[in-house]
Amino acid sequence: MDMVSGTTAEADAPRRLSRIFEELADSAVGTVTVEQLRDALGDRSFATLLVLFSCLNMLPLPPGSTLVLGIPLLLLCVQMVLGSRTVWLPRFVLTKSISAEKFRNLTTRMLPRLKWIERLIRPRYWPFARSHADRVIGTIALVLAIAVTLPIPFGNWFPAFSCALVGLALSERDGVLLAVAVVSGLLSLAVIGFVIGAASVLAAALF
């Protein structure tokens, strides 16, 4: 695969998320649906939803919650691996909406934080051609998503965090952040493997 230089990556990079949300907030009338948001994100929809679903799995929820919250994450990753160009979501999810005024208020509060993140994450050293990125990154994210759904106490946060980093890296085509995300993901899988191995040894000793 050809290494994409920092300059080329910047030239090919899609619009920043902050700009997309600003434009959608300015043009919103009546209500804003999930389908409108997905369509406005365009080729950023996979990366954005990958971050969103990963963050949901990082919340301090009751044990077993990731078995439910991990399903949308798995569904998203499978679509990326299959090379889908548009995120498929159930109709009842796509029709969910909030008022345009509430969306504008949320956007106003979110934009300063989003722009701060965008100053740290930028297009650089992206190792994939545009047509190859989603499938390769989808495969990486799928492995992490499977780890997220495993019923391991306190073992889901690390792979979910790594998956969120993968989504952020894809969003801005940041090769440096992607490298950090891959290392983080490998460490999270190693931790899970250690926990499972230790539990097996303990179970064998007890029984």
161 C-beta neighbours (distance < 10 Å), count: 20
Whether the pLDDT of residue 8 is over 50: the answer is no
**Where along the chain do its domains lie?**
6-206
Residue that wins the pLDDT comparison between 145 and 113: 145
* Cβ atoms 127, 181 nearer than 8 A: no
Whether the pLDDT of residue 125 is over 60: the answer is yes
pLDDT at 79: 94
In the predicted model, what is the mean pLDDT of residues 108-133? 83
DSSP states along the chain = -PPPPHHHHHHH----HHHHHHHHHHH--SEEEHHHHHHHHGGGHHHHHHHHHHHHTTS-PPTTHHHHHHHHHHHHHHHHHTT-SS----HHHHT-EEEHHHHHHHHHHHHHHHHHHHHH---B---S-HHHHHHHHHHHHHHHHHHHHS--TT-SHHHHHHHHHHHHHHHHTBHHHHHHHHHHHHHHHHHHHHHHHHHHHHHHHH-
pLDDT at 41: 81
Give the span between the Cα atoms of 185 and 168, in whole angstroms.
14
pLDDT in tens, 148-193: 988 777 678 899 999 999 999 998 889 999 999 999 999 999 988 8
pLDDT in tens, 60-115: 777 677 777 788 899 999 999 998 888 888 888 788 888 888 888 888 888 888 88
pLDDT at 62: 75
Give the span between the Cα atoms of 107 and 27, in whole angstroms.
13
Angle between helical axes of 130-149 and 175-206 (0-180°, round to 10):
30
